[in-house]
Amino acid sequence: MAASRHGSAVITFPNDLEVVITREFDAPIALVFDVLTKPEHVTKWGATPPDRMTECSIDLRVGGNYHSSFVTTDGTVFTFSGTYLVVEPPVRTVETWHFNCWPDVEAVETMELQERDGVTLFTRRMAFRDQAGREHMTAFDGQQDSLDEVEKILRSLLNPSHA
């Protein structure tokens, strides 16, 4: 792997309904896909310390559901859930997205991966039903940290002797 890409996620707002997050990983696309979609990995990056992931279930197939929960140090429980609409390993998933703190907000989340010369570009696009829903997305607490954790997991899988 090349130099660390720590903190290098880019968050943009291409229009009133969407949020797009991009990040590159120095790892093969299939491995990145696995780390982003398998519970044994998601439990490690889905909540970053001091928060703790308490539940992670992923039924990675069209019509399958995902559900994850984490608890913060003050005891607040956050959950994310949805249903997979498209599953195309290792390049793309599309799923509904629900967050327990915003029960009226609906979004469709698309994750796309593209590999070039051993570098995988990760793109997460969240398309909200309405502008009011998208306007909730003003803070991205934990996004950089979670993607940095993904990078650490990838590094440990690619170089187990340096983990």
Asked if the structure places residue 162 within a domain, the reply is: no
- What domain count does the chain have? 1
**pLDDT for 79:** 94
User: What pLDDT score does 137 carry?
Assistant: 79
Domain with 128, as residue range(s), is: 10-154
- For residues 88 and 30, is the Cβ–Cβ distance under 8 A? no
Q: Which amino acid is at 97?
A: W
136, 28 Cβ separation under 8 angstroms: no
DSSP 3: S
Asked whether residue 62 is domain-assigned, the answer is yes
Phi, psi of 96 (to 5 degrees): -75, 160
Does residue 2 fall inside a structural domain?
A: no
Residues with pLDDT less than 70, the chain? 1-3, 139-141, 162-163
Please answer whether residues 64 and 84 qualify as being in contact, where contact means their C-beta atoms are separated by less than 8 angstroms.
yes
pLDDT in tens, 45-73: 988 778 889 999 999 999 999 999 999 89
SS3 of 157, please? helix
pLDDT for res 80: 94
Q: What pLDDT is stored for residue 135 in this prediction?
A: 85
* Residue 159 counted as domain residue: no
pTM of the model: 0.91
Instruction: Output the domain CATH number for residue 126.
Output: 3.30.530.20
Is residue 48 situated within a structural domain?
Answer: yes
pLDDT for res 121: 97
Residue 91: per-residue pLDDT = 98
Largest CA distance in the chain: 48
In a domain, 37, yes or no: yes
Rounded Cα gap, residues 86 and 99, in angstroms: 20
